[in-house]
Amino acid sequence: MRAASAIQLPLPAAGRRRRRLGRPGAWIGAASLGAMLLAWWASSEGRVVPRDLLPSPAEVWTAAVDITRDGFRGTTLLGNALSTLGRLGGGFGLAVLAGVPLGLWMGTRRGVAAALDWILQFMRPLPPLSYMILLILWLGTGNGSKVALLFLTAFPIIVAASTAGVRGVKLQRIQAARAMGASRGQVFRHVVLPSAAPMILTGMQIALAAAFSTVVSAELMAATDGLGWMVISASHFLRNDVIILCILLLGLLGVALAWLLRLIDRRLVHWRGRD
């Protein structure tokens, strides 16, 4: 026993050292980011690209400070970011609330799937902005048309993922649960839903990315606030520093939202990959 303990005791410390030294991804990512910033600075300062077209990082930072302090055309930077996130949350949230139950229903009822699947197959390849003009005519230029557009963008993706998740449940699991005396409702709650959850969460991540890109396009067409509106408004005044600032903020928001959804995925579907 003492010999075994002597062999095992150093392992945790060695393991920790290996984990600390064995993560090159973070260092490579930081170095890549630094190289990109350096190339941006060099291109701007060296006049490789005219300064009017490509402001330096310092100019973009100055624009960020000024807009944070004084606002942009009567709006605040935080207010515009929250407007974009609010529209995204409204459309995506409604798509989740309606799409997941419908997809589960279609996955468990062949007749329902046969009646509705053609609608989803028709909607999925359509460019979301093809709805925009009709939605503006029906709902106006306010948030209603944008939320509806985001709903229509995310809804078919979530429904399709939920349906595929149910249909991908292994028949042996259902048969085993029924052999143990489980009712239909118990089979659905304890077998079908947990087995379909990974596919549903994956579909939600894809739908969120599609909705995020669509909300910016919608704000470019008809809006009085939001980060997309800031981009189109700044372009009218040739404020490329503001345009680049908004692009950076949109990218950071997209990364943050994707990370949040992946975190929820790991917490709710902690058994992913173990079956």
Residue 24 has what pLDDT?
Answer: 67
Q: Which residues contact 46 (CB under 8 A, 6 or more apart)?
A: none
Tokens of 155: 């809804």
Distance of CA 190 to the CA centre of its chain: 28
Q: Is the Cα torsion angle 209, 212, 216, 219 positive or negative in sign?
A: positive
List the single range of 79-88, 130-139, 182-191, 266-275 with lowest mean pLDDT.
Answer: 266-275
pLDDT surpassing 50 at residue 148: yes
Tokens of 114: 């046969």
Q: Across the strands, what pairs with 72?
A: 75
Residue 275 has what pLDDT?
Answer: 57
List the single range of 53-62, 101-110, 146-155, 241-250 with lowest mean pLDDT.
Answer: 53-62
Question: 31 or 159, which is more confident?
Answer: 159
Residue 237 has what pLDDT?
Answer: 87
| pTM of the predicted protein model | 0.82
The letter for the amino acid at 106 is M
Closest by CA to 253, choosing from 77, 58, 124, 26, is 77
Residue 83 buriedness (CB in 10 A; 0-12 / 13-18 / 19+): buried
pLDDT surpassing 80 at residue 97: yes
Residue 243 has what pLDDT?
Answer: 92
**For the chain, what is the mean pLDDT?**
85
Mean per-residue pLDDT for 89-94? Answer: 95
pLDDT in tens, 108-125: 898 998 999 898 889 888
Instruction: In whole angstroms, give the CA distance from residue 129 to residue 149.
Output: 8
Is residue 153 within 8 Å of 128, Cβ to Cβ?
Answer: yes
pLDDT surpassing 80 at residue 250: yes
Is residue 89 within 8 Å of 215, Cβ to Cβ?
Answer: no
Mean per-residue pLDDT for 64-70? Answer: 93
pLDDT surpassing 70 at residue 273: no
Question: 13 or 167, which is more confident?
Answer: 167
- What spatial distance separates the first Cα and last Cα of the chain, rounded to whole Å? 35
Residue 73 buriedness (CB in 10 A; 0-12 / 13-18 / 19+): middle
Domains and CATH numbers, the chain: 65-268 (1.10.3720.10)
State the pLDDT confidence band at 57, using cuts at 50, 70 and 90: confident
pLDDT in tens, 199-228: 999 999 999 999 998 888 888 877 888 999
State the pLDDT confidence band at 21, using cuts at 50, 70 and 90: very low
Residue 8 has what pLDDT?
Answer: 43
C-alpha distances out from residue 126 to 121, 129, 181, Å: 9, 8, 45
Residue 25 has what pLDDT?
Answer: 67
Percent of the chain with pLDDT over 90: 42
Mean per-residue pLDDT for 64-91? Answer: 93
